[in-house]
Amino acid sequence: MSDWLWQSVLVLSGFCVGALLVSCVAGYIVQAMRRQWHLTQAKMQQQNDELVRLLEQSKDHIHYLEKESLTLEQQFAAAQTVWQEKESFYREQKRQNETEFKQLAHEIMMQQGQHLAKENERQLGSLLQPLGSQIQKFQESVDKSYQEEARERFSLVKEIKSLQQLNQKISDDAVSLTSALKGQNKLQGGWGEVILERILEKSGLEKGREYEIQVSLQSEAGRRLQPDVVIYLPEGKQIVVDSKMVLVSYLAYMEAETEEERNRALKQHMDAVRRHMKELSAKAYHELPGITSLDFVLLFIPIEAAFGLALQGDNGLFSEAFEHNIIIVGPSNLLATLRTIQNIWRNEKQSQNAIEIARQAGAMYDKFVGFVQDMDDIGGKIDALNRSHDSALKKLTLGRGNLLARAEKLKQMGAKTTKSLPEGHLNKGGVLSVEEHDGDVYGDEEGLSSIEGGATEQAEYHNSLTDESEVERDK
């Protein structure tokens, strides 16, 4: 019982001691927390006072800034108004300047353009007028040549038929004249030459230019030769034609009544043809100096029937004659040969005309090329003149320190003058008072130099344009 009490007392004592200790600790903690709270309250009050002070300062600063902002807004509005007025003024001045510049440039260009147009029209007229006349002449020549060729081509068949009839008539007349011609060799030769001349007249060849009669030649041995006809070909060539009459043997053949008489007359006829052929070959017309003949000579038999009888009597006669550089012809094939030569001459003339036309056309084209190049060059120089003109105007009237403004400033500064710039030019140059441009009168030497350079460049251009115009006029 006593132990239990003792233990209870100990427990109760321990509990009381613990409670006391807890109470002490709790009181200490409460005191510490109270001190901490007072410190915190003091610090917070201090911070609150500082914040109140800063807030008051901020309010004062905001009020100051609001006043400054209002002042700046008023100044900005005033400055904006002034700027808008100046911008409107400058815009109006620019518009007026541009209008006046355009009008002035247009007047200058119109004057220069009219001068250049008149000069170009004069040069073009002087260039094209002779060319037009030449082209017209060439066109007329070509048309005339083609018309003549067409007429000659269409009438060729008719003329050949007419000439065949004429040759037949001549042959008939020759038969009728046999009684008068027999035994007179010289008369026979003259008659053959007459037939040859009539064929030449019908061939279309021009006497004295495309053929000649009785041309005197001389061999290397000094022998005088005189062929009946020399026909000229293009490129300096000639053909010799010699007429040989074989009338007697032909008439004997035609009058023969028996086969034996005809054979004998035919042999005589062939011998006569070969004799003429050998005589003509011995003369060697194609080798004579002073004549550029082809390698053969035409042996002309004036009677068509006699020519046909010779070829009929010996088929190899033509080849035999060709071996002696001789071609035997009668009236029909001689006429065909001469007509062929006449066509060659006509084609040669047309070729020469075509060559001349081509040459003149080439020269005309070269002239046109030069003219176009000159026009392009003139156009380029006009563009350069416009650029120089615009640049000079800008340097004269625009930018700081332009020449108009400088000149007017000098006058405002007291320079003695007797004349004044027109008001329109003063507006172009944006001339203000001396005070508004204080210090700018002599401050822009570069602008003045550029103006002088532009004026020099424009003067050089005018000089070069004048020189080139004189050169073109000389051309």
Model pLDDT for residues 204-213, shown as the tens digit of each residue: 887 878 788 8
Cβ atoms of 387 and 461 closer than 8 Å: no
Please state, in angstroms and as integers, the Cα–Cα distance from residue 358 to each residue in 350, 351, 354, following that order. 12, 10, 6
Residue 251 lies in a domain: yes
The neighbouring-strand residues paired with 241 are 229, 298
Letter for the amino acid at 423? E
Do strands 237-243 and 297-300 pair parallel, antiparallel, or not at all (unpaired)?
parallel
Tokens of 396: 């004269």
Residue 117 lies in a domain: no
Residue 95 lies in a domain: no
pLDDT of residue 292: 67
Cα 381 to Cα 375: distance, rounded to the nearest angstrom: 10
Q: What is the pLDDT of residues 249-296, one digit of tens each?
A: 777 777 777 888 888 888 888 888 888 888 877 777 767 766 666 778
Side-chain-side CA neighbours of residue 227 (13 Å): 28
> Stretch 111-133: mean pLDDT, rounded?
72
**At which residue do the structure tokens 């053949």 appear?**
253
Longest pairwise C-alpha distance within the chain: 220
- The candidate with the shortest Cα–Cα distance to 397, out of 107, 102, 87, 86, is 102
Q: Is the pLDDT of residue 228 over 70?
A: yes
> Stretch 50-69: mean pLDDT, rounded?
83
Residue 83 lies in a domain: no
Confidence label for 128 from pLDDT (cuts 50, 70 and 90): low
Total tally of structural domains belonging to the chain: 1
Cα 8 to Cα 203: distance, rounded to the nearest angstrom: 183
Cα 350 to Cα 139: distance, rounded to the nearest angstrom: 13
- Residue 131 contacts by C-beta under 8 Å, 6 or more apart in sequence? 364, 367
Q: Residue 182: give the domain boundaries.
A: 178-329
Residue 265 lies in a domain: yes
Residue 193 lies in a domain: yes
> Stretch 417-441: mean pLDDT, rounded?
56
Residue 260 lies in a domain: yes
Confidence label for 40 from pLDDT (cuts 50, 70 and 90): confident
Cα 382 to Cα 256: distance, rounded to the nearest angstrom: 99
Confidence label for 433 from pLDDT (cuts 50, 70 and 90): very low
**Where would I find the H helices in 244-330?**
247-255, 259-283, 304-313, 317-323
Residue 122 lies in a domain: no
Confidence label for 440 from pLDDT (cuts 50, 70 and 90): very low
Cα 306 to Cα 253: distance, rounded to the nearest angstrom: 10
pLDDT of residue 434: 40
Q: What is the pLDDT of residues 140-191, one digit of tens each?
A: 777 777 777 777 776 777 777 777 777 777 777 666 665 555 555 556 667 7
Confidence label for 475 from pLDDT (cuts 50, 70 and 90): very low
